[in-house]
């Protein structure tokens, strides 16, 4: 059994000024430190999720993280992390949830009116490649995340510094295979959340073609689907976007009291 599930506090704010808990959930194969250039710009307490597991389902992982979610939480999740964040928010209501490049479902549906997602045969080949050539496959994934970026090599270097290293750990390969399988399983196309502040953000040219994730119709403080100017699946890691993203997130605590978790 190999599970590393939990929230890790990476910075502590001044509780007399901001008691918001920012809970960051990274995309597949990445550490939550991939958000470090963002969370260092935002006051408050910052937590990163570690959801590496070799045996738990996505629902079971969501249960475990929901049980330990800090109070007054603002969830921010990238890609698979956003989908996991939606699962967590359905179990324990956060103050807000923001997804970054999260698709309503990851595997393309040929007969769907919604275009996007990864073709099933491409995903199957990718999964097989992870089993046989894990290091090469992770490098390929970096390229997919940086595809269409203005400076893809620089973005690959930035992302690579935060990708898990599996060269010396068989258990890490099993964990990545387990969580990769979650991408084929989840479906948020009909999920509704009783969370007042919801936002779903994407880059202007995402090589993984996420299917737009819409706010729940009963959300009283819906934010529009924002498309940021920086291109790629990892648009949030592009320096040109980071202050804008930080400002958008900080507006969550400037427009309403951080103690209001209704």
Q: Residues 214-231: pLDDT tens digits?
A: 765 554 445 556 778 778
Hey, what are 174's tokens? 């099993």
Mean pLDDT, rounded, for 2-23? 81
Prediction pTM value = 0.91
Of the listed ranges 12-16, 55-59, 182-186, 197-201, the least confidently predicted one is: 12-16
The reported pLDDT for the residue numbered 14 is 65
More confident: 22 or 2: 22
Decide if 79 contacts 100 (C-beta within 8 A).
yes
Positive or negative: CA dihedral 230, 231, 235, 238: negative
Q: What confidence tens digit (pLDDT) does each residue in 101-115 have?
A: 999 999 998 877 677
Rounded Cα gap, residues 222 and 201, in angstroms: 12
CB neighbour list of residue 169: distance below 8 Å, 6 or more residues apart:
none
Checking 3-6 for CB contacts under 8 A at 24+ apart, the result is 3/52, 3/53, 3/54, 3/55, 3/56, 4/50, 4/51, 4/52, 4/53, 4/175, 5/50, 5/51, 5/52, 5/53, 5/56, 5/61, 5/64, 5/65, 6/49, 6/50, 6/64, 6/65, 6/68
Domains of the chain, CATH where assigned = 6-254 (3.40.50.1820)
Q: Average pLDDT over the chain, rounded to whole?
A: 88
Mean pLDDT, rounded, for 60-77? 96
- Top-ranked range on mean pLDDT: pick from 86-90, 188-192, 222-226: 86-90
């Amino acid at each position: 059994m190999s599970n590393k599930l939990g929230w890790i506090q990476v910075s502590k704010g001044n509780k007399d000024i901001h008691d918001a808990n920012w809970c960051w959930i990274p995309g597949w194969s990445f550490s939550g430190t991939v958000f470090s250039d963002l969370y260092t710009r935002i006051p408050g307490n910052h937590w990163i999720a570690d959801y590496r597991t070799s045996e738990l389902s996505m629902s079971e992982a969501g249960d475990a993280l929901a049980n330990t979610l800090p109070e007054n939480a603002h969830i921010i999740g990238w890609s698979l992390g956003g989908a996991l964040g939606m699962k967590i928010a359905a179990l324990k209501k956060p103050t807000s949830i923001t997804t970054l490049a999260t698709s309503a479902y990851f595997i393309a549906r040929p007969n769907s009116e919604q275009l996007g997602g990864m073709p099933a045969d491409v995903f199957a080949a990718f999964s097989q490649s992870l089993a046989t050539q894990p290091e090469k496959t992770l490098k390929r994934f970096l390229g997919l995340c940086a595809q269409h970026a203005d400076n893809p090599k620089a973005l690959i270097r930035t992302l690579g510094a935060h990708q898990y290293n599996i060269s010396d750990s068989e258990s890490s390969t099993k964990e990545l295979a387990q969580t990769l399988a979650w991408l084929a399983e989840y479906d948020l196309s009909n999920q509704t959340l009783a969370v007042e502040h919801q936002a779903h953000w994407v880059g202007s040219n995402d090589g993984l073609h996420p299917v737009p994730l819409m706010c729940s119709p009963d959300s009283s403080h819906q934010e529009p689907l924002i498309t940021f100017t920086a291109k790629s699946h990892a648009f949030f890691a592009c320096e040109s976007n980071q202050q804008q993203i930080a400002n958008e997130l900080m507006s969550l605590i400037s427009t309403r009291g951080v103690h209001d978790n209704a």
